[in-house]
Amino acid sequence: MILMKRRSSAAITEGENPASFRLDTKSTEAILRIINREDGKVPAAIAKVIPQIAQAVEVIAKALAQGGRLIYLGAGTSGRLGVLDAVECPPTFGTDRVVAVMAGAPKALRRATEVTEDNPRQAARDLRRVRLDSRDVLVGISASGRTPYTLGGVRFANRLGAVTIGLTSNPGSPLTKRTRISIVPVVGPEVIAGSTRMKAGTAQKLVLNMLSTASMVRAGLVLSNWMVSVQLTSRKLRERARSILVRATGAKATAAARALEESGGRLPVAVLMLAKGMGVFEASQMLHKASNPAKVLRAALTGRSERVSKNK
């Protein structure tokens, strides 16, 4: 049997990739090199849309400052990647204001139930369940840009007045036309035609990392390159927190460990306690009133450095 190349469909993500034609006749190493070469196109595609990602981050950071949330919405691989990014935000940044809504969850997290992606009304019901409102930012994730579930959720969010962002790999798709900001890294057709868990999925993962991480930095939940809002849920993270305290404040390890314990495991509070000689309550109140915790910490650490220099 001879397999002939087919003409690519309108959606880039559904097209056939000439680089992987007759893939089943290749050696294992040749298959892997083809996949690797195609994967290498993803960072370049993302570099081209950094202005749009930056625009989205500014919108998300503003929403977070005003009490809103970042909400991911998707089906299949796109939905699972949204969940993956969202669940990492509480331990890394100490925030519960990144939420993922996935078609068919929780069952669909473990087993593909793609039929739910065809139901746009279900997306509205799911968003009502998480109480989406006009303060939130909704990121609709769909490699094809035409998933009914995602489009239905975007339509619902638009009606509520929430800012909508579309993440897709197909320019000119319905998702790009229905969202305020469109992020479209064009990675080309997949090695396995239509298998968007590959390049398109990798692009989605990288962009979601950028959206959440940069937004949290802008929100003041990162100091320098330290995760100062980390939740101390394991020995490794407690050791990391002590190390950050020592490096940031110049305190001895024993003093850092004591401040961390007295603060109840709240690293930003412990930083202020050591940097300004404050008690737990005073440090907690100062951070509670701050719109940007990192700025408060940086000012305290700068003041400490100046005081130490004068005393030398």
* Lowest-confidence pick of 48-52, 97-101, 111-115, 201-205: 111-115
Token code pair at residue 216? 């949290």
Q: What is the average per-residue pLDDT within 105-115? A: 67
* Lowest-confidence pick of 6-10, 35-39, 46-50, 282-286: 6-10
Average pLDDT over the chain, rounded to an integer: 91
CB 31, CB 23: distance < 8 Å: yes
Domain ranges of the chain: 44-218, 235-311
- Decide if pLDDT at 312 tops 60: no
DSSP-derived secondary structure for the chain: --PPPPPPPSSGGGSPPGGGTTGGGS-HHHHHHHHHHHHTHHHHHHHTTHHHHHHHHHHHHHHHHTT--EEEEESHHHHHHHHHHHHHHHHHHS---EEEEETTTTHHHHS--GGGGG-HHHHHHHHHHTT--TTSEEEEE-SSS--HHHHHHHHHHHHHT-EEEEE-SSTT-HHHHHSSEEE-----S-SSTT-TTTHHHHHHHHHHHHHHHHHHHHTT--BTTB-TT----SHHHHHHHHHHHHHHH---HHHHHHHHHHTTS-HHHHHHHHHH---HHHHHHHHHH-S-HHHHHHHHHHHHHHHHHHH-
Residues 6+ apart with CB under 8 A from 303: 275, 276
pLDDT tier at 104 (50, 70, 90 boundaries)?
confident
User: Which residue in 168, 136, 164 sits closest to 49, CA to CA?
Assistant: 168
pLDDT tier at 58 (50, 70, 90 boundaries)?
very high
Clarify whether 88 is annotated catalytic: yes
Q: What is the average per-residue pLDDT within 130-152? A: 97
Instruction: Give the CA diameter of the chain.
Output: 85
CB 34, CB 26: distance < 8 Å: yes
- Decide if pLDDT at 307 tops 80: no
Rounded distance between C-alpha atoms, residue 82 and residue 196, angstroms: 15
For 270-290, write each residue's pLDDT tens digit. Answer: 999 999 999 999 999 999 999
> In the prediction, which pLDDT does 117 show?
79
Clarify whether 117 is annotated catalytic: yes
- Angle 235-249/293-311 helices, nearest 10 degrees? 50
For 199-234, write each residue's pLDDT tens digit. Answer: 999 999 999 999 999 999 999 999 999 999 988 988
User: Which residue in 97, 76, 98, 20 sits closest to 204, CA to CA?
Assistant: 76
- Decide if pLDDT at 3 tops 60: no
pLDDT tier at 303 (50, 70, 90 boundaries)?
low
- Decide if pLDDT at 113 tops 80: no
| pTM for the full predicted model | 0.89
- Decide if pLDDT at 132 tops 50: yes
- Decide if pLDDT at 166 tops 80: yes
Sign of torsion over alpha carbons 95, 100, 105, 107? negative
pLDDT tier at 5 (50, 70, 90 boundaries)?
very low
pLDDT tier at 308 (50, 70, 90 boundaries)?
very low
For 182-193, write each residue's pLDDT tens digit. Answer: 999 999 999 999
Q: What is the average per-residue pLDDT within 256-265? A: 94
> In the prediction, which pLDDT does 304 show?
60
The CATH number of 44-218, from 3.40.50.10490, 3.30.720.110, 3.40.1160.10, 3.40.50.2000, is 3.40.50.10490
Catalytic residue chosen out of the listed positions 14, 88, 114, 262: 88
Rounded distance between C-alpha atoms, residue 230 and residue 249, angstroms: 17
Residues 6+ apart with CB under 8 A from 168: 141, 142, 143, 144, 145, 175, 176, 182, 183, 184
Q: What percent of the chain has pLDDT over 90?
A: 84
Token code pair at residue 73? 């919405």
Query: In degrees rounded to 5, what are phi and psi of residue 72?
Result: -95, 140
Architecture of domain 235-311 in this structure: Orthogonal Bundle (1.10)
* Lowest-confidence pick of 40-54, 94-108, 132-146: 94-108
CB 207, CB 57: distance < 8 Å: no
Query: In degrees rounded to 5, what are phi and psi of residue 161?
Result: 90, 10
